[in-house]
Chains A and B, each alone.
Chain A
Amino acid sequence: MKTPNIVPHIARQFTAATVLGGFRRWMLLALCLGASVANAQTPAPLRWAGDAEGGAPYLLPNPKNPREIIGFEIDLMEALARNLGRKSVFVQNQWDGLVPGLQRGNYDLVVNGLEITDDRKQQVNFSLPYYVCGEQLSVRADETAIQSLADLRGKVVGTLKASLAQRILEREGGIEIRSYENQNNPYDDLAIGRLRAVLMDWPIAIYYSKPNPKLKFVGETIGRMEYGIALRKTDTALLRQVNEALLALIKAGELQRIYDKWGIGNPETTALFVQIAPELQTAMPAPSATPSQMLADFSRNITTQLTWQQRLQRWRIYLPPLLLQGAPMTLLISLLGMAVAVALGLVLALIYLYAPQPLSWLARAYVELFRGTPLLIQLYLIFYGLPNVGIRLSPLTAAVIGLGLNYAAYEAENYRAGIQAIPRGQMEAALSLGMTRAQALRHVIVPQALRLVIPPVTNDFIALFKDSSIVSVITMVELTKVYGQLAATYYDYIGVGLLAAAIYFLMGLPFVRLARWAEKRLATDKRISTTAKRRWLGVGAKPA
């Protein structure tokens, strides 16, 4: 089976090239990205998106080889694409951003357990349903007080954000609902007692709750929902093709075989298939009796207790190279983002301090606006909002611009403080020598201010470096996203987390050292450096 890579096309293209390639080339490449994605052989591949972070059985990194994404939806889309004579290309995207990403044309389909709801139908078209299920209630194995939905009143119950399960819990009323972004974390919290119960889509419960001896199912599934493939409203031809292909797969029994392989076949789905294709009434193969190999493997993987030795082995040898896949992207985004911030910040500070009224006011407003609003919302606006006015940026460009614009506000304030800290006599001396104000700034004031602001700017660079993890919301796969995928795959949040933290720390270290070195080298007070002891005693170099 051909499986896609978890680092998408875009990321790979960048990590392969060398960072020494020069700033200009990077910017050019970044700008060309949109074009290079579209540039492919005929027939065009079928590009579809989902979120593979801990998403069994839908989409998940293969525990045996986390570079591969597996899942019943991968199998479904492989079969569907084959039927259409096209190639299936999976695009990783944060769950929240799946529909917006579709709208802005990052891919053509969304396939990720997306429930067909009236709300969503306002925004997108749905294919025929390809799967039906209800919500399954899970509790701790020793739980006796909870037999049904009605017993949840006044209890803390976990579920998936914006799901049918959440709506059911809300309708029931009086339940303290905890919404999760991720499907494995609620079961962990249930096992350790943070939650009294968890209500989730049945296939999720089959994978994450059933194998766990600390948990048990209570009652039958509740409610009914249909998963559909989402398409843009305008793609009606593609919708027809997808529906025809789905129908063919259903009639050929291929979908049923995929669900059996993953151990998620159920009577509701069988009934749906018969309803769609009545001729199946008699021809329908009986649900397979052999237990699913995929489900058995997955269960073993999440329930087996590793020895410390095995764990150390995994941390030392297996995980670092996987995590490091995300590192170059983090580094690239941070460096480019900071370059934008440092340049724009200086311009803003100079405008604020020296430009005439309306301009100066605008610079001030820029700083307040970008400092005072969440980076996350700014990124969403740039990536998902700008296409509405015809500006479509590639994810990398959007990430760099988003981080750059935001941090420019902070850098502007650093520069402003730096410039204002330069004694007035410096400007007066420069003017007295016949320089214009601009010349004085360029040759006398700014060079001194830049030296002063090295420490706070370094500080911001380290902060930006870590903030860069936020760009996973606009489909970038960088270090933190890889961490999330691996941690969910191996059920090891501590080990993988410490490793990822260590990588961040080690990547930041050279820049910190570089800044210290520059600070020392460029210091305007050139006398012998003062040791802490001399400083304490107040002897040696006086402050410049």
Chain B
Amino acid sequence: MSAISVSHLGKRFDDHEALRDISFDVEVSELTAIIGPSGCGKSTLLRCLNGLELFDRGRVRLGQITLEMNDNGQRELQTQLRHLREEVGMVFQSFNLFPHLTVLENAVLAPMVVKKQARSVAEEKARALLAKVGLRERMDYYPSQLSGGQQQRAAIARALTMEPKVMLYDEPTSALDPSLVGEVLGIMRQLDDEGMTQVVVTHEMRFAREVADKVLVLHDGELIEADAPEVIFSAPKDERTRAFLQSIL
């Protein structure tokens, strides 16, 4: 069974049709890259996967949890969203670390509050994950004392402390100095090797080409092409994909 299954997803903002009838599957342990021109709906799609954005039509299934915008009660929807989010880690373009907490405190907060773990248990796990992303020496620093790359690595470690089945990234390296992009992509590469299921919205075409198992191309709210990277980057079927790739390469 696939890790994520999206069928006939539709979403509109007032008069703007942001997502039109989108369907795709994400297989376990695969890395899926979502590309497309600015404003085509990449972030919106990703945010629909963890319920930060509610959609109007269609269905999202993530593991055992199926999200459908039928007329479930508000309360039922809220619990469903919470269960969903426990299964999904999210990494943002602007890191969104909690500035009033140290890196370590950032990483233990959710396990303690949501999973009711003891501090000692949560810290042990957090320390291991922070060490894994190369922040062993920076655990007691505040986010404002870190570089952008360090902050994004801390944010990834924070998401991993909740032991998600799927990791979502919304342009994780777009706010970074080019010299720092590598360290963040490196971690995602490592997670891929370890078998994590990941969905990445990105403009890093080289990364998408080398690491992704599948590339989705969005255009004006439509999924115009979904295929292996070799196909997308070497022989795209859709004229619009070709135009988009030409414009950025």
Contact = CB atoms under 8 A, between A and B. Distances in A.
Interface of A: 423, 425-426, 428-436, 439, 443-444, 447-448, 451, 522, 524-527, 541, 544
Nearest to A429: B96
A432 B88 contact: yes
A426 B114 CA distance: 16
Given A432-B50, A432-B52, A526-B144, A544 B158 contact: no
Interface centre among B52, B86, B113 (most CB of A within 10 A): B113
Contacts of B85: 431-434
B99 A524 contact: yes
CB-based closest 7 A-B pairs: A429-B96, A433-B110, A432-B90, A524-B99, A425-B96, A526-B142, A434-B86
A429 B97 CA distance: 8
B96 A428 contact: yes
Contacts of B144: 524-527, 541, 544
B226 interface: no
B92 A439 contact: no
Interface range on chain B (Cβ under 8 Å from partner): 20 to 34
B16 interface: no
B100 A527 contact: no
Contacts of B162: 433-434
Contacts of B82: 434, 436
Nearest to A451: B100
Given A426-B96, A439-B113, 8 more contacts: A429-B96, A432-B159, A434-B115, A435-B113, A436-B82, A451-B100, A524-B99, A544-B99
Given A444-B98, A451-B100, A527 B92 contact: no
A431 B89 CA distance: 10
Contacts of B80: none
Contact of B142 (A430, A447, A524): A524
B52 A448 contact: no
A525 B109 contact: no
A524 B146 CA distance: 13
A527 B145 contact: yes
A380 B173 CA distance: 62
B94 interface: yes
A435 B110 CA distance: 7
A318 B99 CA distance: 53
B92 A428 contact: yes
Contacts of A448: 98-100
A432 B89 contact: yes
Contacts of A544: 99, 144
Contacts of A429: 90, 92, 96-98, 155
Nearest to B102: A526
Contacts of B98: 426, 429-430, 444, 448
B130 to A, nearest CB: 16
Contacts of A439: 113-114
11 contacts: A428-B92, A432-B52, A432-B89, A433-B162, A434-B85, A434-B114, A435-B113, A443-B113, A526-B142, A527-B144, A527-B145
A443 B114 CA distance: 11
Nearest to B84: A434
Nearest to B89: A432
A14 to B, nearest CB: 37
A433 B159 contact: yes
Contacts of B114: 433-435, 439
A429 to B, nearest CB: 4
Nearest to A439: B113
Given A425-B96, A544-B144, A431 B52 contact: yes
Nearest to A422: B99
